[in-house]
Structure 1
Amino acid sequence: MRDTVGRSAGAGAPPSTAAEADLRHHGDAETGPGLLDFAVNVRTGTPPPWLAERIRASVADLAAYPDPSAARRAVARRHRRDPAEVLLTAGAAEAFVLLARVLRPRRAVVVHPQFTEPEAALRAAGHRVERVVLAPDFTLDPQRVPEDADLVMVGNPTNPTSVLHPAAALERLARPRRVLVVDEAFADCVPGEPESLAARAGVPGLAVVRSLTKTWGLAGLRAGYLLADPGLVARLAEAQPLWSVSTPALVAAEACSTPEAVAEADAWAERLAADRAALAADLAALGLHVTPNAAASFLLVRAEKGEELRAGLRNRGIALRRGDTFPGLGPNWLRVAVRERDTALRMTRVLAQLL
């Protein structure tokens, strides 16, 4: 596998190779009993009671096979799409696996640092993968992507950088005979979702992947979906196992797509923005470099001896996400989930003592 490494001014060390980066490492591996969790990006206090009750009530229908039609229509209405452009999946991870199994790219490119599961899925399906690695502060330059790449994968806002790329920059990556996959798992962290491509049905080759895990606290339920042209959706559906999305997950997808749920998520995104700004200011005041323009439910920070700092926090009961498993980052990078103010202050007080 060949890396395409950023060489713009300020670029850091070359990215990790596939052999060096553990693409299957995720934030849940950092947590444990008794640890204050700043490693996993799922919104705390979720699912909300109204959603939990809808999911509990769906148990009464488990004798019947899952019927995705109502959830598909609800997701389509939420994004102003045709139901034929919606594929419901067992979380975003299933969407990446289906794309990797169905597509036959000649030149697949993944823009890093980003969520590693898309590349892991491509590699598991036998594809060669090239990386375009963005230098800090991780601004997307569409010209960095090879012109002849026929599959491009990018996150927005990106995990772990929290950077929100402009929709116009992403659209510059789209063209005929190319599939452009935009991972919008954290798009609803942004009030109003101004840079989302989810409703833009006319962009050639565009596939948008969404997740209900983060905002609604449904990691254990596996609920997500993909939005693309009907032809690609049909091809992916053919490869999808029958009834892969459970009845409770379908109920959740329908419920979270209502105007009331979207409004609730938007109100949370406003509160998140305030908590994120306060945490970023606290971390910067402690001398850490905080990646600017953060838009998601986490911050990417760089610290001297970051791995020692992470271990010290863990020894004091606080879990952060290591950064060295993301291609393009190293052990001095840490991802910090945004929590409500009182919880965040507990972490930063301990961090101040260590520093």
Structure 2
Amino acid sequence: MNVDLRHHGDAEVGEGLADFAVNVRTGTPPEWLAARIRASVADLAAYPDPRPARRAVARRHGRSVEEVLLTAGAAEAFVLLARVLAPQRAVVVHPQFTEPEAALRVAGHEVERVILGKDFTLDPGLVPDEADLVVVGNPTNPTSVLHPADAVVALARPGRTVVVDEAFMDCVPGEPESLASRLPAGIVVIRSLTKTWGLAGLRAGYILADPHLVGRLAAAQPLWAVSTPALVAVEACSAPEALAEAEEWAVELGIERDRLAAEFSGRGLYIVPEARASFLCLRVPDALGIRALLRQRGYAVRRGDTFPGLGSDWLRIAVRDRPANDQLLEVLGELGI
């Protein structure tokens, strides 16, 4: 199936639309973080110095500094990996964020898709033994499924690189299935500050990998790729007090997400079970038509048919605060849903 791999949630939003399409925490960045970023502008005459932020990320995950590469968001991380690695058989586990596959294809690699089955749970046995590069999301966008860490680690083997997109892992209280602190052999973890801290426009993320691969990726990265304001944000968001704030938000998010999921299920809609990220993935007849009707009523949701493994009966809906979610539910009710 041919899909538009470069269609993302920001393409859904527009003037006057309530945004349920982009998975970024509302009301962010918080003022304390915004103030730090504003203050960093005073240092723009100097070239960016990534060392303090790199050390902060290493401390945050209990890794060595040599295992950390700062990037201009997760998107740059996927591009760097696609440029540096030379897979003979690259496999992307779908449904998931489409940018990793897009980056691999632009770099000239053939990509094989493994489509997950019932409830989109990860079955390592579906991945061909010959695959030497495997990309998987955890929790996965758009399904919101959190795979067990052991299932992800089971993908690793000698001669294979497993790239785990953990951009939404900080939505999970305690991050029990994260591999960022474990970093088993052959595993590459990608993280982003975009979702929890509302920094999509700043471009801040990082790669965790073995020092040899980090060195190769750094050599392929443009000089000063991460700006001073982004570096300040990375350092600030890796501090213990910031992690405590993110944990508190993740707990609150989970309560509201589960309530919203129950509301949808009570209306007879299929929700991908055990959602753990900041969005829900649901199947509804004529989802594209519902999406169009919602736009007419002032609401933007994410179409699902641009994700391999989904189709025209799927939508992804971001979880907002209770009043905003209730307004969406009311409009859906008026549409007979």
Shorter-normalised TM range: over 0.9
Which among 10, 16, 37 is matched to residue 28 of structure 1?
10
Which among 74, 98, 106 is matched to residue 116 of structure 1?
98
Distance (Å, rounded) in 1 between the aligned partners of 2:289 and 2:160? 43
Compute the displacement of 1:353 (Å).
Answer: 1.0
State the aligned residue count. 336
Deviation string 1:59-109 (CA, Å, 9 cap, x unpaired) is: 010000000000000000000000000000000000000000000000000
Q: Given the alignment of the two structures, is residue 151 of structure 1 paired with residue 133 of structure 2, yes or no?
A: yes
Give the aligned partner of residue 200 of structure 2. Answer: 219
Give the aligned partner of residue 328 of structure 1. Answer: 309
- RMSD over aligned Cα atoms: 0.6
Paired letter, 2:75: A
- Structure 1 residues not aligned, in runs of 5+: 1-15
Compute the displacement of 1:204 (Å).
Answer: 1.4
Spell out structure 1 runs of 4+ moving beyond 2 A.
none
Distance (Å, rounded) in 1 between the aligned partners of 2:34 and 2:312? 38
Paired letter, 1:24: R
Give the aligned partner of residue 236 of structure 1. Answer: 217
Q: Given the alignment of the two structures, is residue 271 of structure 1 paired with residue 271 of structure 2, yes or no?
A: no
Distance (Å, rounded) in 1 between the aligned partners of 2:124 and 2:51? 37
Give the aligned partner of residue 277 of structure 2. Answer: 296
Deviation string 1:289-348 (CA, Å, 9 cap, x unpaired) is: 111000000000000111111111111000000000000110110000001111000001
Give the aligned partner of residue 140 of structure 1. Answer: 122
Q: What is the aligned-residue identity percentage?
A: 71
Compute the displacement of 1:136 (Å).
Answer: 3.3
Compute the displacement of 1:279 (Å).
Answer: 0.6
Distance (Å, rounded) in 1 between the aligned partners of 2:44 and 2:286? 51
Distance (Å, rounded) in 1 between the aligned partners of 2:36 and 2:110? 43
Alignment of structure 1 residues 45-84 onto 2, 5 Å? 45-84=27-66
Deviation string 1:231-267 (CA, Å, 9 cap, x unpaired) is: 0000000000000000000000000000111110000
Secondary structure of the 2:120 match is coil
Which among 312, 316, 327 is matched to residue 346 of structure 1?
327
Give the aligned partner of residue 74 of structure 2. Answer: 92
Contact 1:133–1:328 under 8 Å retained in 2? yes
Give the aligned partner of residue 318 of structure 2. Answer: 337
Distance (Å, rounded) in 2 between the aligned partners of 1:200 and 1:211? 18
- Structure 2 residues not aligned, in runs of 5+: none
Distance (Å, rounded) in 1 between the aligned partners of 2:202 and 2:112? 32
Which among 94, 106, 117 is matched to residue 88 of structure 2?
106
Distance (Å, rounded) in 1 between the aligned partners of 2:288 and 2:268? 16
TM-score (structure 1 length as normaliser) = 0.94
Q: Given the alignment of the two structures, is residue 41 of structure 1 paired with residue 27 of structure 2, yes or no?
A: no
Q: Given the alignment of the two structures, is residue 188 of structure 1 paired with residue 205 of structure 2, yes or no?
A: no
Which among 144, 168, 179 is matched to residue 197 of structure 1?
179
Deviation string 1:167-199 (CA, Å, 9 cap, x unpaired) is: 000000011211100000000000000000001
Give the aligned partner of residue 261 of structure 2. Answer: 280
Which among 239, 242, 266 is matched to residue 258 of structure 1?
239
Contact 1:286–1:352 under 8 Å retained in 2? no
TM-score (structure 2 length as normaliser) = 0.99
Compute the displacement of 1:286 (Å).
Answer: 1.8
Secondary structure of the 1:137 match is helix
Secondary structure of the 1:95 match is helix
